[in-house]
Structures are given as structure tokens and as C-alpha cells.
Structure 1
Amino acid sequence: MAKTIKFNLILDGHPVRNLEGLQAHFSIEDMLMYYKNGLLLRWLDVREYRSQHDAVKTIQKTTNQEIISELIKIFELEMEESLIEKAIAIYAYQEETRWLNEEYQKNAFQKNQIILDYHSGYDALIEHMIENMDNMALLKADALVLEQDYLGLFILDHVALFEKLKNNAPKAVFAVLTRNAFRPYWIGETANDKIYLSIKNDLLPIDTIKEVLGEDLKIVKRNTQAMWDPIERPEVEVMVLRIENNTFIKNAGEFSEKLGATDVNNQFLKLKGLEYQCNDEKLELLYMEV
């Protein structure tokens, strides 16, 4: 009788040998790929996880969202719906990009046609952001694709693009600023002066932040009694939009750090986790998840 050969799944860059490893390194993009190409079922079979194997085999769902929801239940995981939506949107773009690359190779498109399609893809992506102007999960996914696939066009077009998004999809400006590659062009010392001034004057007033971001804005109002209050865990990356004078923030677990209003405001400061210090419950801390 032939010996069963065991193999590992690679999830989020980690080799996974058992269910505990799968739960620790669960990656939506990787799991969708393994589910669709059949490797997940083979892995469960050779590792003799019978109940999970049978449950995966009987999944009747067709959309990526439904499939992932079923896999999360089967493997007893807890994930926020916004994270699932963002990862699935990214996966969809990756699938489309892979398909286009295969089509280019298969049909040997001419160079000028590829360039035309590249520009068309960029234009379509920006229009997709405008069409989904209120959906932060999709806007973040679009911003990631913009960074990965169209950075060169962004650099050439960053002034006109800012005006277009500010006027038609202002929430998208905040999504774009979550990506490090774009920030030097729109904010900070190296940014276009006109853009940076417009962001500070037109998008960063408190009422405007609240109106534009809506439910995607997180507001903290509490008296921490001069103690550091943990707001977000270290694995949650945030972008702080505004704090009041005499209040302070820092990265989660950074004992020597203490950032005040002059360090934070107008900087779109990104932190890993968030701790907060405030002595007045009327004051507000405004931030969003990256």
C-alpha cells in the first residue's frame, strides 16, 4: 500500500502542519486559493482531519464572501466583517490581474495596446473609487491596488487626482493616505504645497472629518486620569486624525513615547495600536483603522 505523503500549506508566508497553525496564520487570500484549487481538501485528507474535510467538501456557496464565511465557521475563527470584505476585494483584484496577465501572454498584445490598457485600468480604478465613495473597505482595497499596480501613473497624476477625489469622493483621500507610497506627495514637508494646504483647510476641520468619514471614524472621549488607556491592540494599525491640546497618544506598548497635538495634528500619523492619555472626558480623539 502506497504511503500517504503529507505536505504543508503556506498561509501568510508560514508553513502550516496542523489546525492550530491554520488558525494562527489564517489568510483569506491564501485560503480562497487553496479551497478553489483543491489543496485545502487534500491537506485535510492527508492530515486526517475528517470532520473539517467533510464540512469543506459540502460547501455549496459560490461567492468568495460566502465561501470565506463558511471556512471561518468550520475552522472556528473570529474575524471582523470589514477585514473580510477588504481582503476579498483585494483577492478579486489579484485574480483579475492574473487573468489579464495570462491574456496578454496568450494573445501577444502589442506594446502600445498594453500601455493603453494600463492607462484604462488606472482610469477604471479611479472611477471605481468614485462609484464606491462611501465604502471604506473597497476604497482601501482600491488604494492598495493603486499602490501596487499604478504608482507611476499616480506620481504623474497626483495633483489632478487629488482634486478629482476631493471633489467627488473625499473619503477616498483618507483611504489613499493610508498607503505609505502616496503620502509624500500629498502631506508632509515634501508634499505639493497646494494639496497639503487644501487637505488641512478643507478636509481636516473636525466637523468635516466627521461628515466625510461617518461610521468609519472612531471617536474616543474619556478621562483616563493621567494613566495610559489602551484603545487599540498593537496588531491594529491606525491613522490618527486629530487630538486636543493637553491630550497625548502613543504606539501600543511604547513606554518612552508621548505624542501631543503639535506632533499629531495635520500629520495623518500612523501607529501600531493606540494608547491615550486625557484628563477631560469632553475632549475627543479622532482616528480610523488602516
Structure 2
Amino acid sequence: MAKTIKFNLICDGNPVRTLEDLIDNFVIEDVVEYFNNKLLQRWLSVRGYEETLEKVEGIKTTDTLEVVKELVEIFQVDDDPVSIEENTYIFQYNKERQLLMEEYEKKGFKVTSIINNYHSGYMQLVNCIIENKDNIAQIKAAVKEINDKYPVLFELSYRELFFTLLENAPLAIFVMIMNENMRKKYLPLSTTIEDENLAANCVLSVFGSSDNEQSICSADKQIMYESICALIKDEKSLTEMLGENLKIFAGATNAYWKDVETKNKKYMILNMKNGNYVRNAGLSGGDLNSLDTNGKFVILDGIDYKSNSDSDRLLYMEV
């Protein structure tokens, strides 16, 4: 009788020998590949995980997102559902790009075809954002893909993209200003806000030259920035626009710091009332007041909050 040869999977660059190893190193791209080529099923079989194997073999859907959801449930992976969904879309984009590159090789890298497909790929992402204007996971994945793979087209069309999304998918505006590169196109590096509610009357300046000379923000950038400020001016409208993606905290902390969000997750501050303070979670010093945060869309690693008011509300989003 032939001896069963046990083998390891490699997930996130680490050898996987047990279910615990698989859960600890669960990476969507790796696990889905193993599922599709049946290596995951073989591994479960030779390792004696018959009950888990039966569940995996019971997955009948061909939709990648649904496959991921079922695998996450089977292996009881403890992760944020939005993050899982976002990473699944990124995985799909990478697979599509891989197939496209293989097609380029078959065609001998015809320049015209590459250029046309490059523009087409960019527009597909923009349309995907508009068609899924309330799905933040899909928007985050598409925005990341634009930033990573289409920087030239973004540089040429970031103004047009802004106003297109402002009208058709305003949630995407917030996602873009979460992005380290994209936010530079829409936010001034130095900002003066004339009222604490972030009304549209803003005096803007940016440090645009290589020698750090201060220059006046261009008119179109001022318009884009004021449009962003206008989105958060009214909390009721903002709540309707962002839905569950808007996070709110209110409560007096009696002069102590309250750990509203733990570190190792990033959050963007949208609005905080005067007299209150935030800082990176667990970081002594670096206290930020409303003048430091409002209109700056500051991104923090976790959130500590201090307030003497029961009614003041801190508005923020997970990055």
C-alpha cells in the first residue's frame, strides 16, 4: 500500500502544517488559489481533516467573493468583513491583470492594444465605483487599483475624476482622501477654517514648490476642497450619505483619555467640536484639538479621545 505523503501549504510566505497554521496565515490570494487548483482539498485529505474537507468540497458557487466568504466561515477566520471583501476585490483585479498580461504576450505586446486596454481598465474601475457607490469595500479596492496601477491617468484626470465621483459616488471622495497619494491632489497642506463647522469659506494655501515657498492654492483645488468641506457640513446629510461607514462617539471622559478605537487600525477624523481632543491610541503627547483636525482630515492609528461634554460628537471613518 502506497504511503500517504504529507505536504505543507505556503500561506503568506509561511509553511502551513495544521488548521491553526492556516487560520493564522490566512491570505485570500493564497487560499483561493489552493481552493481553485484543488491543492487545499488534497492537503485537508492527507492531513486527516475530513470534516473540514467535506465542508470545502461543498462549496458550489463560482463567484470569488462568495467562495471567500464560505472559506472564511469554514475556517472561522476572525477578520473585518469589509476588509475581507476589499481584499477579495483586489485579488480579482490582480487576476484580471495577470490574464491581460498573458494575452499581451500572445499578441507580441502590440503597443496600440496595450494603450487601449490601459485606458479601458481605468474607465472600468471608475464605472465600477459608480455602479457600487454604496459598497465601501469595492470602492476601496478600485481606488487602490487606480492609485497603484494607473498613476499616469490619475495625474492627468484627477480633477475630472473628482467631480464625476462627487456627483455620482460621493462616498468615493472620502476613500480617495484616505489615500496618501490622492489626498495631496484634493487637500491643502496648510488650511485656515473660518468657522468650526467647516463651512465652504476657506482660506487655503499649499507648499507647492521644491524650496518650500508658500503658494496660493489653485482655484480648482480650492473648489474641490470646499466641496469636500461642504459634504461634512451637515451631520444629518453626512449620515445619510455614509450610512454605517460613519462612526460616531459621544461622551464625557472626565478629563481622562478614552480609548475609542484600538491601535493598528487607521481612522480619519471628519469633525470634532471645540474643546475636545484626540490622539493616536496609547501615544502620550501629540494631542490634537479641533483646529488641528477639522478640515485636515487627519488619519490616526487608533483613537484616544478626551472631552468634558456628553453631547459633543466625534465623527470619523475607518481607513
Q: TM-score, normalised by structure 1?
A: 0.90
The answer for the alignment partner of 2:258 in structure 1 is 229
Structure 2: segments with no counterpart, 5+ residues: 190-205, 209-216
The question of whether the paired residues in 2 share the 8 Å contact of 1:9 and 1:17 is answered with no
The answer for the alignment partner of 2:29 in structure 1 is 29
How far the C-alpha of 1:111 sits from its partner, in A, is: 0.5
Q: RMSD value over aligned CA atoms? A: 2.2
The answer for the alignment partner of 1:9 in structure 2 is 10
How far the C-alpha of 1:142 sits from its partner, in A, is: 1.0
How far the C-alpha of 1:282 sits from its partner, in A, is: 0.8
Q: Relative to structure 2, which stretch is displaced further, 140-149 or 202-211?
A: 202-211
Please state if 1:120 is matched with 2:149.
no
Helix, strand or coil at the partner of 1:167? helix
**Counterparts in 2 of 1:7-156, with a 5 A limit?**
7-11=8-12, 13-156=13-156
The answer for the alignment partner of 2:233 in structure 1 is 205
The answer for the alignment partner of 1:177 in structure 2 is 177
Offset from partner CA, 1:117-148 (integer Å, 9 cap, x none) = 11121122112222222222211111111111
CA distance in 2 between counterparts of 1:60 and 1:165 reads 36
Helix, strand or coil at the partner of 1:177? helix
The answer for the alignment partner of 1:195 in structure 2 is 221
How far the C-alpha of 1:156 sits from its partner, in A, is: 1.4
CA distance in 2 between counterparts of 1:61 and 1:283 reads 47
CA distance in 1 between counterparts of 2:6 and 2:97 reads 33
Offset from partner CA, 1:66-88 (integer Å, 9 cap, x none) = 32232223222334432332222
The answer for the alignment partner of 2:192 in structure 1 is none
How far the C-alpha of 1:154 sits from its partner, in A, is: 0.6
How far the C-alpha of 1:104 sits from its partner, in A, is: 1.4
CA distance in 1 between counterparts of 2:49 and 2:183 reads 46
The question of whether the paired residues in 2 share the 8 Å contact of 1:219 and 1:286 is answered with yes
CA distance in 1 between counterparts of 2:244 and 2:159 reads 28
How far the C-alpha of 1:44 sits from its partner, in A, is: 2.5
Change (3 A) 1:152 1:15: farther
| Structure whose CA Rg is larger | 2
Helix, strand or coil at the partner of 2:261? strand
CA distance in 2 between counterparts of 1:255 and 1:156 reads 42
How far the C-alpha of 1:183 sits from its partner, in A, is: 1.5
The answer for the alignment partner of 1:276 in structure 2 is 305
The question of whether the paired residues in 2 share the 8 Å contact of 1:162 and 1:195 is answered with no
Offset from partner CA, 1:16-69 (integer Å, 9 cap, x none) = 332222222222232212211222223333433333233323332332233223
CA distance in 2 between counterparts of 1:267 and 1:18 reads 46
Helix, strand or coil at the partner of 2:26? coil
The answer for the alignment partner of 1:252 in structure 2 is 281
Change (3 A) 1:200 1:75: closer
Change (3 A) 1:14 1:120: same
Partner amino acid, structure 2, of 1:167: E
CA distance in 2 between counterparts of 1:174 and 1:63 reads 28
Q: Aligned pairs, how many?
A: 289
Partner amino acid, structure 1, of 2:299: K
Please state if 1:215 is matched with 2:244.
yes
Change (3 A) 1:95 1:218: same
The question of whether the paired residues in 1 share the 8 Å contact of 2:11 and 2:31 is answered with no
The question of whether the paired residues in 2 share the 8 Å contact of 1:16 and 1:22 is answered with yes
Q: TM-score, normalised by structure 2?
A: 0.82
Q: Relative to structure 2, which stretch is displaced further, 147-156 or 163-172?
A: 163-172
CA distance in 2 between counterparts of 1:111 and 1:269 reads 42
Change (3 A) 1:85 1:210: same
How far the C-alpha of 1:161 sits from its partner, in A, is: 1.7
CA distance in 1 between counterparts of 2:62 and 2:184 reads 41
CA distance in 2 between counterparts of 1:69 and 1:282 reads 39
The question of whether the paired residues in 2 share the 8 Å contact of 1:204 and 1:266 is answered with no
Helix, strand or coil at the partner of 1:279? coil
Offset from partner CA, 1:204-233 (integer Å, 9 cap, x none) = 314353343232111111112222212222
